[in-house]
Amino acid sequence: MRRPARSEAVYVVEFAGEDDAFAAREAATAMTGVEVVAPGVGVAEAVDRRAVRSLAYTHRVSRVVDRSAATVEAAVASLAAAPLDLDGTVAVRARDVRRGTGVDTPHAERELGGVLTNEGLPVDLDDPDHELRALFSDERCVLGWLDIETDRGFGARAPTKKPFFQPGSMSPLLARALANIAGTEPGSLVVDPMCGTGGVLVEAGLVGADVLGLDAQAKMARGARENLAHYLDGGWATARGDATHLPLEDGAADAVVFDAPYGRQSRIEGDLETVVAGALAEARRVAPRAVLVSDRPWTDAARAAGWTVEDVFERRVHASLTRYIAVLG
């Protein structure tokens, strides 16, 4: 008699990138009970399907079947004892996540597939009705039926493919994650007071938000306008403006996201500390949430402006640059 599957978590999450803590923070905007359980793998209790599809650093979400040790034999035994109330064709996809276990994934797929065929389920490797994901990572394997795959079109919006490009522009993956972490959703207003080429605004707009971009350089405001017009049908505006004096009423926005100047790499008017402090104060005036990116965390300035620092992440760009991402509420 088959035993019931374990109930510790309903979903298993396959993270993208190498920073699982950051990926989990983004995933938590679309799921509840998110927890990293192994490199590249997390679990969750419930999901918002629409929001999950917009995530940047989540590849797939599957419904948990069971967990086992990270061996083919243990995974097979686990699947053989789990309930399989399915109709239609099946396929098995095994992953040695980040190549950390040395598991022979083709062998795992064959053995797990054998369990399914023994249950009378026909195999269709090209277009199955149900796909079993076997995720081997660290010392465990998590089995799950694929439920949601995120939309992956970020490569088509790479900085060099946009109508307006400047060196150092943010990747669309990171821009989307920042927009999500800021709480972007359809109908919200997201402001970037140092918008540069408009990368964050493009991604927030694609999620469904209205977006406003300002930049001290007229050239950048015009370039951001060109990019936004290319990717979005409407709901956006850009202008030359001062991040320390936003043309918005108190509480007019839902979130502020900005990539602060990186010292000598950026042209700014005035002292950098004064500009960032002023921008943080204005962000606090117009919105309840903010995400700040820079080459330092600016946590003292954020607290002085009235923000609570919820999280700070470090993301190494190259040998001479580490980006700090401060999540403020």
Sheet of 41-44, strand order: 35-38, 41-44, 11-15, 58-69, 140-149, 130-137, 90-96
Same structural domain, 116 and 182: no
In the predicted model, is pLDDT for residue 40 greater than 80? yes
Look at residue 1 in the predicted model and tell me its pLDDT: 26
Give the CATH number of the domain where residue 83 resides.
3.30.2130.30
Q: Are 31 and 44 within 8 A, CB to CB?
A: yes
Asked, for residue 2, whether it belongs to a domain, the answer is no
Look at residue 146 in the predicted model and tell me its pLDDT: 98
In the predicted model, is pLDDT for residue 161 greater than 70? yes
Look at residue 119 in the predicted model and tell me its pLDDT: 94
67 burial class (0-12, 13-18, 19+ CB within 10 angstroms)? buried
Domain count, the chain: 2
How far apart (Å, rounded) are the C-alpha atoms in residues 102 and 18? 18
Asked, for residue 201, whether it belongs to a domain, the answer is yes
Domain span including residue 183: 154-328
Q: Categorize the per-residue pLDDT at 318 as very low, low, confident or very high, splitting at 50, 70 and 90.
A: confident
Asked, for residue 163, whether it belongs to a domain, the answer is yes
Same structural domain, 139 and 170: no
In the predicted model, is pLDDT for residue 51 greater than 60? yes
Asked which of 1-10, 44-53, 186-195, 316-325 is least confident by mean pLDDT, the reply is: 1-10
Same structural domain, 175 and 33: no
Same structural domain, 54 and 175: no
Same structural domain, 181 and 239: yes
Asked, for residue 298, whether it belongs to a domain, the answer is yes
How far apart (Å, rounded) are the C-alpha atoms in residues 127 and 130? 9
Asked, for residue 6, whether it belongs to a domain, the answer is no
**Average model confidence (pLDDT) for the chain?**
93
Give the CATH number of the domain where residue 243 resides.
3.40.50.150
Asked, for residue 237, whether it belongs to a domain, the answer is yes
Domain endpoint, select from 99, 134, 149: 149
- What are the helix (H) ranges across the chain? 20-27, 49-53, 72-81, 105-118, 172-181, 199-207, 218-231, 272-286, 299-304
Domain endpoint, select from 94, 118, 149: 149
In the predicted model, is pLDDT for residue 302 greater than 90? yes
Look at residue 317 in the predicted model and tell me its pLDDT: 76
Same structural domain, 125 and 194: no
Q: Categorize the per-residue pLDDT at 261 as very low, low, confident or very high, splitting at 50, 70 and 90.
A: confident
Look at residue 268 in the predicted model and tell me its pLDDT: 56
The structure's pTM equals 0.93
Same structural domain, 165 and 144: no
Same structural domain, 296 and 227: yes
Cβ count near 288 (within 10 Å): 15
How far apart (Å, rounded) are the C-alpha atoms in residues 258 and 283? 10
**Mean of the pLDDT values across residues 71-81?**
97
Q: At what angle do helices 199-207 and 172-181 cross, to 10 degrees?
A: 60
In the predicted model, is pLDDT for residue 9 greater than 80? no
- What are the helix (H) ranges across 264-317? 272-286, 299-304
Q: Categorize the per-residue pLDDT at 2 as very low, low, confident or very high, splitting at 50, 70 and 90.
A: very low
Question: Quick one: tokens of 246?
Answer: 């936003």
Q: Categorize the per-residue pLDDT at 143 as very low, low, confident or very high, splitting at 50, 70 and 90.
A: very high
- Regarding predicted confidence, which is higher, 8 or 223? 223
Same structural domain, 22 and 116: yes
Domain endpoint, select from 122, 149, 176: 149
Asked, for residue 112, whether it belongs to a domain, the answer is yes
Same structural domain, 164 and 131: no
Same structural domain, 134 and 179: no
The model's pLDDT over 212-230, given as tens digits with 9 standing for 90+, comes to 999 999 999 999 999 999 9
Q: Categorize the per-residue pLDDT at 315 as very low, low, confident or very high, splitting at 50, 70 and 90.
A: confident
- Specify the amino acid at residue 203: E
Same structural domain, 182 and 286: yes
In the predicted model, is pLDDT for residue 65 greater than 50? yes
Q: What is the DSSP letter of 123?
A: B
Asked, for residue 1, whether it belongs to a domain, the answer is no
Q: Are 163 and 90 within 8 A, CB to CB?
A: no
The DSSP line for 247-270 is: SS-TT--SEEEEE---GGGS--SS
